[in-house]
Structure 1
Amino acid sequence: MRAKLDIQAEVVALGYLSREELAAQWERIYRCAPPKGVRRELLIRAAAWHLQAKRLGGFSTETRRMLRSAIDRVERKFADRDGQPNVVADEIKVTIARKRKQVLPGARLVRDWNGKTHIVDVIEDGFVFEAKVFPSLSSIARKITGGHWSGPRFFGL
Structure 2
Amino acid sequence: MNVVCPHCLKVNKIPKKDSYLKANCGECKNSLLDTTPIELTEQTFDHVVVNSDIPVIIDFWAPWCNPCKMMIPIFNEVSNKYSLKALFVKVNTQEQESLASRFLIKSIPTIAIFKQAEEVKRVSGALDPLKLSSLVNENL
TM-score class, shorter-chain normalisation, is under 0.3
Larger radius of gyration: 1
The normalised TM-score by structure 1 is: 0.19
Q: Which has the higher contact order (CA 8 A, sep 6+)?
A: 2
Structure with higher helix content? 1
